[in-house]
Chains A and B, each alone.
Chain A
Amino acid sequence: MRPVEPSIIEQRSRHPLGDRSASYEPQPFVEVDRLSLYYGEKPAFQDVTLSINKGYITALVGPSGCGKTSFLTCLNRLTDLIAGCRVSGRIMIDTRDVLASDIDVIQLRRRIGMIFQKPNPFPLTIRRNLEFPLREQGLRDREQIAEIIEATLRDVGLWDEVKDRLNSPALALSGGQQQRLCIARALALLPEVLLLDEPCSALDPLSSGVVEDLIVSLRDRYTVLIVTHNLVQARRIADYAALFWIKNGAGRLIEAGPAKQIFEEPRDPLTAAYVSGMRG
């Protein structure tokens, strides 16, 4: 098998973060303004205003049921699939108004990859899992598809483990391998933003470590938002952090800022109690 340059993904990439210098200024990429989400009459979260910087890892932390996952699904409009779900406020990703009624939702979702808590490869072969979304995007050149498959599988560290069995079912892989395949599947579409919804929580500690290292390696090339209940993990990998909390029956954003500040010198007493393990 011909070795493929690891830079193939970067060559296809449109974002100029590959050569980020030390003096790189944080630059907002996702801007959320007074966002609220209701399931029927019940609010999931209210009035969240948050700015997410390009090329960094932002961790969303907080207790269960405070709207972190619901927040993620607003960003790629998966909320459209949920009956009785209502979103208000404003989300700008780059120059796109996400909640605008005339936006091409399919295109939007291709620019924003999402990884779920439970690995969810399709019941197809490993190759088909990666090839299927690419072909759907309009890529027909077999050679190019094969190159992208190899490059993304190398990117997630799965190539050596699966290169001899690309035609076997993806569901035969281990949980950690399945999750990395799902990440590869998202990366193959060259997203600008990656939404990770507790990507390690369904995995054993060893696989969890591998996936975590993979997420860290995605910094700079992608804008990563990760929901996690694992504070230690958030502290290890996040550049920025945002704490959600339930107040009056609805999720609220309590505090957001650089991870160092949130974890070491939080301004809000609730954040201080949460990160020190006294609450939540």
Chain B
Amino acid sequence: MAETLSRPQDHREWFAFVLVWGAAALVTAVFCWLLGDIIWHGLSHVSWTFLTTSPENAGRRGGIGPILVSTSLILGVCLAVSLPIGIGTAVLLAEFTSDQSLFGRMTRRSLDVLAGVPSIVFGLFGNAFFCKALGLGFSILSGGLTLACMVLPILIRSTEEGFRAVPASYRLSAAALGLSRSTTLVHLLLPAAVPGLLVGLVLGIGRAIAETAALIFTSGYVDRMPQSLLDSGRALSIHIFDLSMNVAGGDANAYASALVLVVLLLAINGAASWLATYGLHRKIMTV
């Protein structure tokens, strides 16, 4: 290496080397700094009591118990609605619609546009449609449904890619064995498409759990323990936003809440990739 570096083209290579590694190091450094900052300021405030008690004095003291419950309920509503619709649409697009058909192209184009729409627009739409038109008011249900609309494009496109990645030979050999289309779909294609589905799910959950703008107008920011899905409930991200922007002296608990949110995200990510590599894989092989 040392002797080859003397030639001019090797200096260029050295420059490229520094550029590429420098960029990677910068990205990692930003992440570490962010994470370090949150841990440094937040860790001392996170405790079992913090996770289970209600916020007091506008969140300056107390915990985030009801907020965790609201967040999981919103996420639950979002997934319960978006998963079946998402998988169904992906199956329709990948298995029953040709690439060139007008319907397929229109649906894909709409989904790609929807995926890029700012979340505040989804929030306003959710407020107008779910809260007002459907009369659900500021509620966990409205928030979850709005998030579902937001997550669907990502989930559908990524699941569709999962189906397209399944080799055509599976479909041909299954058909040649006299397996019906629905059996082929349920027992062969769906398990094989699971990695794509999980990628979409992780991206979707990531977007949903960290969402603030779309929820302010739909699920509201009441920080009491919700009694039903029609109650308003404050999501974790809104709690962080409120504490750091509107509540003087709420920074400590804002940091602690942010730490909880980041840990949740990392846990969901880890669980999904574990599921993709071990859990479901083994299930497919032996069922």
Q: Do A and B come from one complex?
A: yes
Interface residue ranges, A against B (CB under 8 Å): 76, 78, 81, 83, 106-110, 113-114, 116, 118, 120, 122-125, 128, 132-133, 136-137, 167, 169, 182, 185-186, 189
Tell me the complex Cα distance, A128–B176, Å. Answer: 17
Nearest CB of A to B60, in Å: 55
Query: Which residues does chain B contribute within 8 Å of A113, judged by CB atoms?
Result: 176-177
Nearest CB of B to A234, in Å: 22
Is B38 part of the binding interface, using a Cβ–Cβ cutoff of 8 Å?
Answer: no
Query: Which residues does chain A contribute within 8 Å of B284, judged by CB atoms?
Result: 123-124
Interface centre among B170, B175, B177, B287 (most CB of A within 10 A): B177
Nearest CB of B to A104, in Å: 10
Q: Are A78 and B169 in contact (CB under 8 A)?
A: no
Query: Which residues does chain A contribute within 8 Å of B177, judged by CB atoms?
Result: 109-110, 113, 133, 136, 185-186, 189
Tell me the complex Cα distance, A110–B179, Å. Answer: 8
Chain B residues with a Cβ closer than 8 Å to the other chain, count = 21
Query: Which residues does chain A contribute within 8 Å of B287, judged by CB atoms?
Result: 128
Q: Are B171 and A81 in contact (CB under 8 A)?
A: yes
Q: Are A125 and B286 in contact (CB under 8 A)?
A: yes
Interface centre among A125, A136, A186 (most CB of B within 10 A): A136
Q: Are B172 and A116 in contact (CB under 8 A)?
A: yes
Chain B interface mostly: helix
Is B132 part of the binding interface, using a Cβ–Cβ cutoff of 8 Å?
Answer: no
Query: Which residues does chain A contribute within 8 Å of B267, judged by CB atoms?
Result: none
Q: Are A122 and B178 in contact (CB under 8 A)?
A: no
Query: Which residues does chain A contribute within 8 Å of B171, judged by CB atoms?
Result: 81
Nearest CB of A to B98, in Å: 5
Tell me the complex Cα distance, A99–B213, Å. Answer: 58
Q: Are B175 and A81 in contact (CB under 8 A)?
A: yes
Complex partner residue of B178 from A107, A128, A167, CB under 8 angstroms: A107
Is B2 part of the binding interface, using a Cβ–Cβ cutoff of 8 Å?
Answer: no
Known A118-B169, A120-B173, A132-B187; judge A137-B192 contact (CB<8 A): no
Interface contacts (Cβ under 8 Å), in number, total 64
Known A123-B285, A124-B284, A132-B187; judge A78-B175 contact (CB<8 A): yes
Tell me the complex Cα distance, A182–B173, Å. Answer: 9
Is B4 part of the binding interface, using a Cβ–Cβ cutoff of 8 Å?
Answer: no
Is B188 part of the binding interface, using a Cβ–Cβ cutoff of 8 Å?
Answer: yes
Is B183 part of the binding interface, using a Cβ–Cβ cutoff of 8 Å?
Answer: yes
Query: Which residues does chain A contribute within 8 Å of B175, judged by CB atoms?
Result: 78, 81, 109
Complex partner residue of A136 from B169, B173, B180, B286, CB under 8 angstroms: B180
Q: Are B285 and A78 in contact (CB under 8 A)?
A: no
Nearest CB of B to A127, in Å: 9
Known A128-B287, A136-B183; judge A78-B178 contact (CB<8 A): no
> Nearest 4 CB-CB pairs, A to B?
A110-B178, A114-B176, A109-B178, A120-B169
Tell me the complex Cα distance, A113–B178, Å. Answer: 9
Q: Are B98 and A83 in contact (CB under 8 A)?
A: yes
Known A110-B177, A133-B178, A136-B178; judge A169-B285 contact (CB<8 A): yes
Tell me the complex Cα distance, A132–B188, Å. Answer: 10
Tell me the complex Cα distance, A108–B179, Å. Answer: 11
Query: Which residues does chain B contribute within 8 Å of A186, judged by CB atoms?
Result: 176-177
Q: Are B180 and A122 in contact (CB under 8 A)?
A: no
Q: Are B285 and A124 in contact (CB under 8 A)?
A: yes
Known A123-B192, A123-B284; judge A116-B173 contact (CB<8 A): yes
Query: Which residues does chain B contribute within 8 Å of A124, judged by CB atoms?
Result: 284-285
Q: Are B188 and A122 in contact (CB under 8 A)?
A: yes
Nearest CB of B to A135, in Å: 9
Tell me the complex Cα distance, A123–B193, Å. Answer: 12
Q: Are A78 and B183 in contact (CB under 8 A)?
A: no
Interface residues of B in 86-142 (CB under 8 A from A): 98
Tell me the complex Cα distance, A137–B174, Å. Answer: 13
Tell me the complex Cα distance, A188–B218, Å. Answer: 58
When each residue 153-172 of chain B gets 1 if its CB lies under 8 Å from chain A and 0 otherwise, what string results?
Answer: 00000000000000001111
Known A123-B285, A124-B284, A132-B187; judge A106-B178 contact (CB<8 A): yes
Nearest CB of A to B138, in Å: 47
Known A169-B285, A189-B178; judge A122-B173 contact (CB<8 A): yes
Interface residues of B in 48-63 (CB under 8 A from A): none
Complex partner residue of B179 from A116, A123, A133, CB under 8 angstroms: A133
22 CB < 8 A contacts A-B: A78-B172, A78-B176, A81-B172, A81-B175, A108-B178, A109-B175, A109-B178, A110-B178, A113-B177, A114-B173, A116-B173, A118-B169, A120-B170, A120-B172, A122-B170, A124-B285, A133-B177, A136-B177, A136-B179, A137-B178, A167-B286, A186-B176
Query: Which residues does chain B contribute within 8 Å of A83, judged by CB atoms?
Result: 98
Tell me the complex Cα distance, A185–B284, Å. Answer: 19
CB closest chain-B residue, reference A80: B175
Query: Which residues does chain B contribute within 8 Å of A109, judged by CB atoms?
Result: 175-178
Tell me the complex Cα distance, A167–B285, Å. Answer: 9
CB closest chain-A residue, reference B191: A123
Query: Which residues does chain B contribute within 8 Å of A78, judged by CB atoms?
Result: 172, 175-176
